[in-house]
Structure 1
Amino acid sequence: MMLPVLLLLLPALSPALAWIPVEDWESGNVTASVGGLGQCICHVYLPETTFPADRVQHMQQVSKDLFLEVETQMNKMVSYEGKLEVYLRELIDLIARMDMLEIDPDNFIKLDFELLRTELREFEALVSQLKYSLNSSSPMFDSLYTEIRNMTLTVNQLETLDKSNLEVIRLEFAKLQKKLEECQKEQELIKPDIGNCNHTGIMTVSKPVVVQLDAHLSAGYQYGGWGKDSKPARGYESMYFLGDSSIPSVKNFYLYSNYENLILKSAFETHNTPSGWEGTGNNYIVHGNAIYYQHNAPLRMTKLDLSTSMYEHRVIPAASHKFSYSYSEKQNLDFAADENGLWVMYASEESKGKIVLAKIDEKSFDIEEEWNTGLFMERAGNAFMACGVMYATRPVDLKTEEIYYAFDTKTKEEKDLNIRFQKYQEKYTNLHYNPTDQKLYMYNNGYYVSYSVKFDK
């Protein structure tokens, strides 16, 4: 009697995947037939399951680029010019390039899966900020969150050498493209009023967007500040600055050409304050391509021109070392910028510890006008300016901060507020508003945190 013969017609398989059990084969990939001599012939077609390392490496790079592009587009959207076309083009280009990866499987770089997951979490936070900026309750955003989480699951599967391949990710990006096209349509209908102060003040503050730990990746650098130029020179609209220290002092400033280089810790310029020009406190800002910070003995304003690397200072005779914000000592001068220009806040013996608000003449680098407020400096966590109004904050609990006071320089009226927002850590040493994107930038115990501000129209 002739025994049946079993023939398996298989594509070339990687030896690393030869262990896949038969029960995991999809039934649709197995067919059987009877040969001309009565023998049983089984055909099993297995999908190509070789781990797509080259495509995953490419996906990591492109995913990082997409995350950074979303932040850039959100900033542009908030400043009237904001559109998502660039990001959409990136997505379309990504799909085409991922198709091309099938042809070129030769490149491989070890993939940092944890970094990729972090970037996806930050991407999700940015989408949340986009939803807030648009003031939209559209279910489209919920769907967008779902797509991002699906991408995260796919990354986890790739890390464990699962049988998933990059086709799944390509489809996820295609879905994201569709969702963002819908976001673009809504964005065209709703645009924030950058530079326009035709409102009654701050209404709400968004949830925090936490970027990362400081450039040293050390929790010991609790003091510092970060953000963007509030009056950028041409060509420096995307520049970010950072200063950090383990004590409340000003020694080093780092400048980054864009958001991506900030994340990558790739500064294009570093300023180390020379002997005699070291500052104290951390309430500094960048305005008009110059850094304004506090200098002691005597207490004075200091300006570092980033174009010329030249320093100059102006003494404020009335300012006192005795009064500081509650979160940190030596926060005696607080610089701020808004739609109306450059400001500095301080307390004096004459004001009995209450904040004196002063407008700075940028050309002469001198005080041009002052207002006496009813706010005790030591009771506030920090303060900032927006549309000629000074806002002060204080802690509610370990994770909640509150804007509780406002002083309007036009009407000289004071107002009690109750605008709460979340903190990532309990204490922070720098909080300032940027009029170019209507965001608050906070250096929160070593973490870079930002918020979108919504005004009451």
Structure 2
Amino acid sequence: MTPYVIALCALFTVTQQVPAREKCTCELNHSDKTFPHGKLQTVEGNVTECNSKITSQKTLELESLLLGLRRRLAQLNEDVSILETENDGQLYGVLSLYIIENERTEIRQLIEKLNSTTLGHSLLTNNTVHQLEDLKTKMLELEKFDTMQVVKGRRDNKRLKSELKVCQHGLNATVAPTQAPHGTCPHGKLLNITGPRVYTAGEYPGSYPYGAWGRDPKPEAGKESWYWLVMLTSSNIYANYVRLYSSLSALIIGVSTPGNVLIHSANPTTNTIQGPNNVLYGGALYYNCYNQDYLCRFNLTTKSVTTVQLPKGTRYNSKGNFCKLGECYSYTDLDLATDESGVWVIYTTTQDFGNMVLSKVEKGENPELGQTWRTSVYKQSVTNTFMACGVMYATRHVDKNMEEIFYSFDTTTGRENFNVGIFINKMSSNIQSLNYSPVDQMLHVYCDSYMVSYKVLFE
């Protein structure tokens, strides 16, 4: 008899000896601790709360306050120096003192707001530091349950990939060019903005604070000297026509020929204008369609309108505006721009978390969106944008007299610059729209019902 048969017989014999009413039970002892799901949910909740409190807007708010204070202090110093050298028999001394007193009041208010903002940020920072230390401790405790070393493996993989990337970069390193390329720009690098060269209220002084104006970069024959104007004539939000002028002097003195080109008799209605950021290119007006996440193209000759659907999640109806500190410009979700290459549209989407997105608009009677670029600048930290030679420039509010071009994005290289540092002397506190004209390298600005233009200086 084989050993296996003997063992089975023995097992059978033992089984037969056990009384029928008794049962055999086993106790299982699991050495691992139960995973603390509740603690993990608490950590996730704390992370979500931390992300909601620490936003880029808070940093930009402090940065804007500091920038505004620096500009105001410089202006106050300049005005005091002028007062000290005045010798006009006290004719204008009282006025100068009044101006200085107003500037001191503005500075004091700004310092108070800066102090309260700094205090709030300091408290938030301290609380966040404690939260992060607590989160780190809890995550280290949770990592003990990673018996398969998955987390450690992922961390090691991430470190190895980083080292590999550095190694490859070193092997493929090339000498950087002395001058970054600027696409097909015939002018070179943008150096400065000078002026204003034109400052006029036109034929409706003070009547329509929101609007846009400029020249057609690709005009029809015989219309090379024409200018266009769009005024938001309904609630400072909507318009249903574009007004034309045969020359700059005609626009300044307020003589419109041939007058208004009507999109529709009703205002607003389907496919009429919403928002101030509009441009004219190739005899067609490009603008945000009324109450839609669509781009409209209105042919001034045929009076026909074609539309382009913007990407899913595009913010519209005043949900993705340009802003300055404590205030936003209503219905500036879409900004249309022109340059040497054609028409561009600047906007933001929910999936980009409020950062600006730039798309090229392909030419034609039925335009389409072409290549798209995503930036890392938050749209609500910007007051306006314009294009020049394939480079997008963004401005921000410094004070009532000054605007700064602080950011640029080069579509040729994909490079971003947050320190452009070009200042624009404003004629009014708010800029509702601005657009670059490649015809004469001018920047056309609409600010609080006034039309202003500046000269763009290139390298």
The alpha-carbon distance between structure 1 residues 196 and 358, as it changes in their structure 2 partners (threshold 3 A), is closer
Shift of 1:252: 2.6
1:272 equivalent to 2:273? Answer: no
The alpha-carbon distance between structure 1 residues 236 and 198, as it changes in their structure 2 partners (threshold 3 A), is closer
3-state DSSP class of the match of 2:251? helix
> Could you tell me how far apart the structure 2 residues matched to 1:264 and 1:418 are?
35
Residue 243 of structure 2 aligns with an amino acid whose one-letter code is: Y
Q: Which residue of 1 aligns with 2:440?
A: 437
The alpha-carbon distance between structure 1 residues 261 and 220, as it changes in their structure 2 partners (threshold 3 A), is closer
Give the root-mean-square deviation of aligned CA atoms: 1.7
The alpha-carbon distance between structure 1 residues 196 and 315, as it changes in their structure 2 partners (threshold 3 A), is closer
Shift of 1:454: 0.6
Q: What do residues 263-298 of structure 1 show as CA deviations (whole Å, max 9, x unaligned)? A: 232221312331423221110011001111111332
3-state DSSP class of the match of 1:374? strand
Q: Which residue of 1 aligns with 2:300?
A: 306
1:202 equivalent to 2:190? Answer: yes
Residue 215 of structure 2 aligns with an amino acid whose one-letter code is: K
1:257 equivalent to 2:257? Answer: no
Residue 323 of structure 1 aligns with an amino acid whose one-letter code is: G
> Could you tell me how far apart the structure 2 residues matched to 1:264 and 1:203 are?
32
Residue 402 of structure 1 aligns with an amino acid whose one-letter code is: E
How many matched pairs?
261
3-state DSSP class of the match of 2:185? coil
Give the alignment of 1:401-416 within 5 angstroms. Answer: 401-416=403-418
> Could you tell me how far apart the structure 2 residues matched to 1:344 and 1:265 are?
30
Shift of 1:260: 2.5
> Could you tell me how far apart the structure 2 residues matched to 1:349 and 1:435 are?
32
CA contact under 8 A between 1:291 and 1:303: conserved in structure 2?
A: yes
Q: Which residue of 2 aligns with 1:390?
A: 392
CA contact under 8 A between 2:263 and 2:298: conserved in structure 1?
A: no
Q: What do residues 182-209 of structure 1 show as CA deviations (whole Å, max 9, x unaligned)? A: xxxxxxxxxxxxx961555211100212
Give the alignment of 1:35-114 within 5 angstroms. Answer: none
1:324 equivalent to 2:321? Answer: yes
Residue 403 of structure 1 aligns with an amino acid whose one-letter code is: I
> Could you tell me how far apart the structure 2 residues matched to 1:236 and 1:447 are?
24
* Runs of 4 or more above 6 Å deviation: none
> Could you tell me how far apart the structure 1 residues matched to 2:226 and 2:195 are?
23
Tell me which of 215, 232, 241 is aligned to 2:228: 241
CA contact under 8 A between 1:221 and 1:245: conserved in structure 2?
A: yes
> Could you tell me how far apart the structure 1 residues matched to 2:203 and 2:263 are?
18
CA contact under 8 A between 2:271 and 2:290: conserved in structure 1?
A: no
Q: What do residues 80-108 of structure 1 show as CA deviations (whole Å, max 9, x unaligned)? A: xxxxxxxxxxxxxxxxxxxxxxxxxxxxx
Shift of 1:395: 1.1
Residue 433 of structure 2 aligns with an amino acid whose one-letter code is: N
> Could you tell me how far apart the structure 1 residues matched to 2:449 and 2:229 are?
11
Q: Which segment drifts farther, 410-419 or 293-302?
A: 293-302
Q: Which segment drifts farther, 288-297 or 261-270?
A: 261-270
> Could you tell me how far apart the structure 2 residues matched to 1:249 and 1:324 are?
15
- TM-score, scaled to structure 1: 0.55
Q: What do residues 425-455 of structure 1 show as CA deviations (whole Å, max 9, x unaligned)? A: 0002110001111110000111110000011
CA contact under 8 A between 1:248 and 1:281: conserved in structure 2?
A: yes
- TM-score, scaled to structure 2: 0.55
> Could you tell me how far apart the structure 2 residues matched to 1:270 and 1:298 are?
24
Residue 324 of structure 1 aligns with an amino acid whose one-letter code is: N
Name whichever structure is richer in helix by fraction.
2
3-state DSSP class of the match of 1:323? coil
Shift of 1:415: 0.6
3-state DSSP class of the match of 1:283? coil
> Could you tell me how far apart the structure 1 residues matched to 2:352 and 2:189 are?
26
Shift of 1:250: 2.3
Structure with bigger gyration radius: 2
> Could you tell me how far apart the structure 1 residues matched to 2:203 and 2:315 are?
32
Residue 354 of structure 1 aligns with an amino acid whose one-letter code is: N
Q: What do residues 239-280 of structure 1 show as CA deviations (whole Å, max 9, x unaligned)? A: 000111350222231011112221232221312331423221
> Could you tell me how far apart the structure 1 residues matched to 2:248 and 2:188 are?
32
Give the alignment of 1:85-164 within 5 angstroms. Answer: none
> Could you tell me how far apart the structure 2 residues matched to 1:221 and 1:298 are?
23
